[in-house]
Protein backbone atom coordinates (compact mmCIF):
# COMPACT_ATOMS: atom_id res chain seq x y z
CA UNK A 1 0.00 0.00 0.00
CA UNK A 2 1.35 3.37 -0.87
CA UNK A 3 0.48 5.68 1.92
CA UNK A 4 1.62 8.55 -0.26
CA UNK A 5 -1.93 8.56 -1.60
CA UNK A 6 -3.27 8.63 1.98
CA UNK A 7 -0.70 10.67 3.91
CA UNK A 8 -0.71 10.46 7.70
CA UNK A 9 1.87 12.83 9.16
CA UNK A 10 1.81 10.92 12.45
CA UNK A 11 2.74 7.52 10.98
CA UNK A 12 6.15 6.16 11.83
CA UNK A 13 8.23 4.34 9.23
CA UNK A 14 7.40 1.07 11.02
CA UNK A 15 3.66 1.79 10.86
CA UNK A 16 3.91 2.68 7.17
CA UNK A 17 5.76 -0.57 6.51
CA UNK A 18 3.21 -2.55 8.54
CA UNK A 19 0.33 -1.00 6.59
CA UNK A 20 2.07 -1.65 3.28
CA UNK A 21 2.56 -5.29 4.29
CA UNK A 22 -1.07 -5.52 5.44
CA UNK A 23 -2.27 -4.13 2.11
CA UNK A 24 -0.18 -6.71 0.27
CA UNK A 25 -1.64 -9.56 2.34
CA UNK A 26 -5.21 -8.32 1.84
CA UNK A 27 -4.62 -7.84 -1.89
CA UNK A 28 -3.42 -11.44 -2.15
CA UNK A 29 -6.32 -12.71 -0.04
CA UNK A 30 -9.00 -10.83 -2.00
CA UNK A 31 -7.44 -11.18 -5.46
CA UNK A 32 -10.17 -11.52 -8.05
CA UNK A 33 -12.77 -10.10 -5.63
CA UNK A 34 -11.62 -6.52 -5.03
CA UNK A 35 -9.11 -4.20 -6.63
CA UNK A 36 -6.18 -2.57 -4.90
CA UNK A 37 -7.97 0.79 -4.58
CA UNK A 38 -10.90 -0.74 -2.67
CA UNK A 39 -8.57 -2.67 -0.39
CA UNK A 40 -6.41 0.38 0.31
CA UNK A 41 -9.49 2.50 1.01
CA UNK A 42 -10.86 -0.05 3.48
CA UNK A 43 -7.49 -0.39 5.21
CA UNK A 44 -7.06 3.38 5.37
CA UNK A 45 -10.53 4.06 6.78
CA UNK A 46 -10.18 1.17 9.22
CA UNK A 47 -6.91 2.67 10.46
CA UNK A 48 -8.59 6.06 10.90
CA UNK A 49 -11.45 4.56 12.91
CA UNK A 50 -9.04 3.12 15.48
CA UNK A 51 -6.46 5.94 15.49
CA UNK A 52 -8.58 8.24 17.65
CA UNK A 53 -9.01 5.61 20.39
CA UNK A 54 -5.68 3.83 20.38
CA UNK A 55 -3.87 3.72 23.69
CA UNK A 56 -0.85 2.05 22.07
CA UNK A 57 -0.26 3.20 18.50
CA UNK A 58 2.05 0.30 17.65
CA UNK A 59 -0.99 -2.01 17.32
CA UNK A 60 -2.93 0.27 14.96
CA UNK A 61 -1.77 -1.37 11.70
CA UNK A 62 -2.71 -4.82 13.02
CA UNK A 63 -6.16 -3.66 14.17
CA UNK A 64 -6.70 -1.87 10.87
CA UNK A 65 -5.77 -4.99 8.90
CA UNK A 66 -8.02 -7.28 10.96
CA UNK A 67 -10.97 -4.89 10.72
CA UNK A 68 -10.42 -4.19 7.01
CA UNK A 69 -10.42 -7.97 6.41
CA UNK A 70 -13.77 -8.31 8.19
CA UNK A 71 -15.21 -5.36 6.29
CA UNK A 72 -14.01 -6.78 2.95
CA UNK A 73 -15.51 -10.17 3.81
CA UNK A 74 -18.78 -8.38 4.59
CA UNK A 75 -18.69 -6.45 1.33
CA UNK A 76 -17.99 -9.66 -0.58
CA UNK A 77 -21.03 -11.23 1.09
CA UNK A 78 -23.23 -8.23 0.24
CA UNK A 79 -22.08 -8.52 -3.38
CA UNK A 80 -22.95 -12.24 -3.47
CA UNK A 81 -19.36 -13.47 -3.19
CA UNK A 82 -19.49 -14.92 0.33
CA UNK A 83 -18.84 -18.50 1.38
CA UNK A 84 -22.52 -19.20 2.14
CA UNK A 85 -22.20 -19.55 5.91
CA UNK A 86 -24.74 -17.56 7.95
CA UNK A 87 -23.43 -14.44 9.70
CA UNK A 88 -24.60 -13.35 13.15
CA UNK A 89 -23.73 -9.85 14.35
CA UNK A 90 -23.75 -8.97 18.07
CA UNK A 91 -24.10 -5.24 18.79
CA UNK A 92 -23.84 -3.17 21.94
CA UNK A 93 -22.73 0.34 22.75
CA UNK A 94 -19.08 -0.20 23.72
CA UNK A 95 -18.41 -3.66 22.22
CA UNK A 96 -16.21 -4.37 25.21
CA UNK A 97 -18.21 -6.83 27.32
CA UNK A 98 -21.65 -8.26 26.55
CA UNK A 99 -21.34 -8.44 22.78
CA UNK A 100 -17.81 -9.88 23.02
CA UNK A 101 -19.04 -12.54 25.46
CA UNK A 102 -22.00 -13.37 23.21
CA UNK A 103 -19.64 -13.62 20.23
CA UNK A 104 -17.34 -15.94 22.17
CA UNK A 105 -20.20 -18.24 23.17
CA UNK A 106 -21.64 -18.22 19.66
CA UNK A 107 -18.27 -18.98 18.05
CA UNK A 108 -17.63 -21.83 20.48
CA UNK A 109 -21.04 -23.38 19.72
CA UNK A 110 -21.22 -22.69 15.98
CA UNK A 111 -17.64 -23.65 15.13
CA UNK A 112 -17.05 -23.45 11.38
CA UNK A 113 -20.77 -23.70 10.55
CA UNK A 114 -21.45 -19.97 10.94
CA UNK A 115 -19.60 -16.66 11.24
CA UNK A 116 -19.94 -14.35 14.23
CA UNK A 117 -19.00 -10.69 14.40
CA UNK A 118 -19.49 -7.95 16.97
CA UNK A 119 -19.49 -4.17 17.00
CA UNK A 120 -20.37 -1.08 19.01
CA UNK A 121 -21.99 2.25 18.30
CA UNK A 122 -19.44 4.01 20.53
CA UNK A 123 -16.77 1.32 20.69
CA UNK A 124 -14.41 1.33 23.66
CA UNK A 125 -10.63 1.52 23.58
CA UNK A 126 -10.20 -2.01 24.97
CA UNK A 127 -12.15 -5.11 25.90
CA UNK A 128 -13.30 -5.39 29.52
CA UNK A 129 -10.84 -7.60 31.41
CA UNK A 130 -13.68 -8.96 33.58
CA UNK A 131 -15.42 -10.23 30.42
CA UNK A 132 -12.21 -11.94 29.28
CA UNK A 133 -11.78 -13.54 32.73
CA UNK A 134 -15.42 -14.68 32.91
CA UNK A 135 -15.21 -16.35 29.51
CA UNK A 136 -11.88 -17.97 30.38
CA UNK A 137 -13.63 -19.60 33.36
CA UNK A 138 -15.92 -21.28 30.80
CA UNK A 139 -12.96 -22.32 28.66
CA UNK A 140 -13.61 -19.70 25.97
CA UNK A 141 -10.75 -17.39 25.02
CA UNK A 142 -11.85 -13.93 23.86
CA UNK A 143 -8.55 -12.25 24.71
CA UNK A 144 -7.72 -11.70 21.02
CA UNK A 145 -10.98 -9.83 20.42
CA UNK A 146 -11.05 -6.06 20.38
CA UNK A 147 -13.79 -3.41 20.40
CA UNK A 148 -14.73 -2.23 16.93
CA UNK A 149 -17.40 -0.14 15.29
CA UNK A 150 -19.96 -1.55 12.97
CA UNK A 151 -20.16 -0.34 9.42
CA UNK A 152 -22.85 -0.36 6.78
CA UNK A 153 -21.39 -3.34 4.92
CA UNK A 154 -21.07 -5.38 8.12
CA UNK A 155 -24.69 -4.78 9.11
CA UNK A 156 -25.91 -5.47 5.57
CA UNK A 157 -23.95 -8.75 5.40
CA UNK A 158 -25.45 -10.13 8.63
CA UNK A 159 -28.26 -12.67 8.46
CA UNK A 160 -29.12 -12.05 12.12
CA UNK A 161 -28.41 -8.98 14.25
CA UNK A 162 -28.58 -9.40 18.03
CA UNK A 163 -28.59 -6.23 20.12
CA UNK A 164 -27.38 -6.51 23.69
CA UNK A 165 -29.85 -4.26 25.49
CA UNK A 166 -28.54 -1.04 24.01
CA UNK A 167 -31.88 0.37 22.87
CA UNK A 168 -31.76 3.15 20.28
CA UNK A 169 -27.94 3.24 20.30
CA UNK A 170 -27.97 -0.05 18.37
Residue 73: which CATH number?
1.10.8.1060
Residues 62 and 116 in one domain: no
Task: List strands edge to edge, sheet with 160-163.
Answer: 115-120, 87-92, 160-163
Mind listing the pLDDT tens digit of every residue in the chain (170 residues)? 444 455 566 788 998 999 999 999 999 999 999 999 999 999 999 999 998 887 777 889 999 999 999 999 999 999 999 999 999 999 999 999 999 999 999 999 999 999 999 999 999 989 999 999 999 999 999 999 999 999 999 999 999 999 998 776 66
Domain residues for 123? 83-170
Contact 145, 131 (CB under 8 A): no
Domains: count for the chain: 2
Q: In this structure, are 77 and 138 located in the same domain?
A: no
Which one of 41, 67, 82 terminates a domain? 82
Same domain, 123 and 142: yes
State which of 82, 97, 124 marks the end of a domain. 82
Amino acid sequence: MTYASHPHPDLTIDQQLALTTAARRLTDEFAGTFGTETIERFLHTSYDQFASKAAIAIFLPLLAERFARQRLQALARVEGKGDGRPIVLFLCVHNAGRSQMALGLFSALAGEHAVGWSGGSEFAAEINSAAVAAMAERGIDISREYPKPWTDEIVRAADVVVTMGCGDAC
